[in-house]
Structure 1
Amino acid sequence: MKLTMVSALLLCLGLASTGLAETWTAEELSEYSQSEIEAMGDDNIQLQIAYWEWRKAEADARIDGLMPQVTPLRDTLDELEARIAELQSEINALRAEIERLRSAGVQHLIQDGECLWLIASYHYNYNDGSKWPLIYERNRETISDPDLIYAGHYLWVPLPMLSSYTVVEGDYLGKIAGYSRVYGERGMWPQLYEANRNIISDPNLIYPGWVLEVPRSGTFGGTR
């Protein structure tokens, strides 16, 4: 008896992958008529459909069972994302405030024995004592007499942020990065190092007189 290719394949394969139906050899199939073989093939197909529908229903049931656990996790995730957005907004506001304060100048805590001339003469301020009137004018609301200032009080020193810095005795990258006119944060020293790799081979070894670029954007190079 001659079998159609489709019928023979269906019946030879059967449901071997599922283990739910027996399989037949071509020799065994030769004992059946064409119509019987096709009927057997249809039965196998229906059985496979039923099997995979059962597997799907089982998977759906497992998903439904997990939903009570998934839903609270989704709610928690939504709450965390909302909190992250709030924190990011707070960070942005703080950054804006820092920039506003920096544009107004940097604060200096008056120490015993200091005067406006001495404060102006510091290398990280003006490096020129004769510029003390700039500090006085900026603080007229709190200083009535430029010759009379008190330790423990704060002064605003109207200074732009530095784009370069000349190394002095006792400086190191962390100290320089910590200056208010540089970054105001010692931990940012790697930015100075990376921007001045053309002159700095060892970040622990810098020399007075070197002019370091203070990168605000992009990459620069210092000079010796």
Structure 2
Amino acid sequence: MADKSVTTVEQILAELESLGSEKVRTLNIRNGASENQFGVKLGDIRALANRIKTNHELALALWDTHNLDAQLLALLIIKPKLLSADEVDRMVRSISTAQVADWLSSYVIKDHPAKEALRRSWMQTDHPWAARAGWSLTAGRVTREPEGIDIPGLLDRIESEMPKAAPEVQWTMNTTLAQIGIRFPAYRERALAIGEKLGIYRDYPVSKGCTSPFAPIWINEMVKRESKVTS
């Protein structure tokens, strides 16, 4: 067990390596991660972050290692508001795996004061990870802050762009499509039709008890659940 006062990148990398699992590492690589990782369980990364607490400078140094586990840890101890919009943009464009992309969105981007300006910029880029982040933020706007969002325009873009989009981008475009269908009854029929027409994630494997990411199934299931809650 490493000392609780772990504060240097070298010490942290050594501890992460000691926590690594070949099984987790193999699974991560199968899911698209690079080999620059130790295969640490996410629960162990969270426990280490809880021990270190917030440490912005250390987080930046960990991020620069490009090690998967170190970058995930960095996202838990970083101070998002100390990052400039350009720094966030560079971080987004440097990632290479969905796990890091999703944690970056959840723990940094969604709390950043420049997130709307970044969203608008990323919605116009061809860079796959930046576009993924842009669509992720757009899905959040559709769900929680839809004022000013052009829903018909989003549906037009999804219908025309999603079939040829990079897999990284398809995932958050699909989330936006599903959230439109769930949150906007007036556009539900069109969202369902687009999902059926495109067929993306129709055969996606899901564990028992989980909802398929195939938009028509996802939309109908969530609408049914919400109607039960309100009835």
Assess same fold via TM > 0.5.
no
Normalising by structure 2, we get a TM-score of 0.23
Structure with higher strand content: 1
Normalising by structure 1, we get a TM-score of 0.23
Structure with higher helix content: 2
Computing the radius of gyration over CA atoms, which structure comes out larger, 1 or 2?
Answer: 1
